[in-house]
Amino acid sequence: MTRGQTRVWMAATTAAMFVVAPPPATAADVLTASPQRDRALHIETGASYVAADAFGGWGLSLRGGYLTNRYVMTGVGLETARLHAEGTAPVFGGAFSQTFQSTLAAAFVRVQLPTRFVTPYAELALGYTAIHGMAGFNYQCKEQGGASGGVALGAQANVLPSLGIGVRAGVRPPTSTTCAATGGPWTYESAALRSIALTAAYRW
């Protein structure tokens, strides 16, 4: 190969590299790029500690969502919590115990800010809360099911493009209660249900 041919070959190779190589990332791309931006379907599970006034317990959740765009997700979810309270009735005396299951089935809208490593979000849910599995003794008030919902704040760390691990804090409004003296002496007023959860999400 002559000197002239060598120069032509080097020029052609350099031009090809500029065509094939991707452009450098801008600062905005680094801050907002998210590994899961092309993964529209989202399945999330969670394990939580829940509390409502005198009641406390553990809960589980399952959500399925669809990213309408990078910043908004819509979907449906199911949250259930087993709540328990026990002690001594303050007025009439005597030990009491009460346990029940609170399950929320709801549609939700989530607004999120995807970044390369962490995705914080805020969520609003509307649906129906069912109260079931009531058990105990020496109590007179019972929770009632009805229309309900909740709000939550959370964040997920992007462990892999398809996997996120996070934390989530949520609040559900109080449900209604009915009280009758035939059930026993312990009484209470329904309170908001607060939860803190660890979550795992799979995206594809």
- The candidate with the shortest Cα–Cα distance to 58, out of 198, 202, 200, 201, is 198
SS (H, E, C) the chain: CCHHHHHHHHHHHHHHHHHHCCCCCCHHHHHHCCCCCCCCEEEEEEEEEEEECCEEEEEEEEEEEEEEECCEEEEEEEEEEEEEEEEECCCCCCEEEEEEEEEEEEEEEEEECCCCCEEEEEEEEEEEEEEEEEEEECECEEEECEEEEEEEEEEEEEEECCEEEEEEEEEECCCEEEECHHHCCECCCCCCEEEEEEEEEEEC
Q: What integer is the mean pLDDT of 64-72?
A: 95
pLDDT on residue 72:
97
Give me the mean pLDDT over the 6-35 stretch. Answer: 47
Would you mind telling me the total number of residues written for the chain in this entry?
204
Confidence (pLDDT) at 15: 46
Nearest to 191 by CA among 19, 52, 30: 52
> Which tens digit of pLDDT belongs to each residue from 160-179?
989 999 999 999 999 999 98
The rounded mean pLDDT for the chain is 85
Q: Evaluate if residue 181 carries a pLDDT over 80.
A: no
Whether the CB-CB separation of 172 and 104 falls below 8 Å is answered with: yes
Distance CA 148, CA 126 (A): 6
pLDDT band at 11 (very low <50, low <70, confident <90, very high): low
Residue 41 has pLDDT above 60, yes or no: yes
pLDDT bucket at 7, cuts 50 / 70 / 90: low
Confidence of residue 184 (pLDDT cuts 50, 70, 90): low
Domains and CATH numbers, the chain: 36-203 (2.40.160.20)
pLDDT tens per residue across span 86-143 = 999 877 778 999 999 999 999 999 999 999 999 999 999 999 999 999 999 988 899 9
Predicted pLDDT at 1: 55
